[in-house]
Amino acid sequence: MATVSNGRTRAPAPAAAQKKAATAVKQPVKRASKTQTAGKAAKAEAVKTVAAAPKAAKAEKAEKVEKAQKPAKAKVVRDSFTMPEWDYAKLAELKRRCLNGGAHVKKSELLRAGLKMLESLPERQLLAVVAQVETVKTGRPAKRKARDAASVQ
């Protein structure tokens, strides 16, 4: 195992450094004997490198295939919105119905499913559905204590 020293302690080297060190291991160079000429030694060395090249290429290909198979993570956006209590209750009811059907869904998944349904509608039907939705005041509702104090006076 390769180690890295910071002057005081010795710790295991990072995996990438270990992998690089393992691939960087060189074969000892054969020196030409008295009977071999320099040309024969060079030819033997070239054969060794050619034989090692396909193995390295296969390893690189395998790494590329693994990276290509992993789908890129979609960027997630966090947002907040305001909706009436009855629409929020509808989300709870839809979640319960999905559970009864054997599927556990989150509120965000229900909203995204609704978006897919709306997306598939023709423009005329989409506008009709949007017209049925009540508009609500945006923003956070007033705090309860402030509302209760205002209603008492």
Q: How many CB atoms lie within 10 A of CB 73?
A: 6
Q: Kindly state the percentage of the chain with pLDDT values over 70.
A: 50
DSSP 102: T
Between CA 23 and CA 25 the distance in angstroms is 6
Stated length of the chain = 153
Show the tokens assigned to 151: 């209603």
At 142 the pLDDT is: 77
Give, in degrees to the nearest 5, the angle at Cα 147 between 142 and 148. Answer: 150
Show the tokens assigned to 122: 């023709």
Q: SS3 of 33, please?
A: coil
Show the tokens assigned to 7: 């002057």
**Average confidence score pLDDT of the chain:** 75
Between CA 12 and CA 5 the distance in angstroms is 9
* Top mean-pLDDT range of 2-11, 30-39, 47-56, 74-83: 74-83
| Mean pLDDT in residue range 42-46 | 65
Helices 85-100, 107-120: inter-axial angle, 10-degree rounding: 100
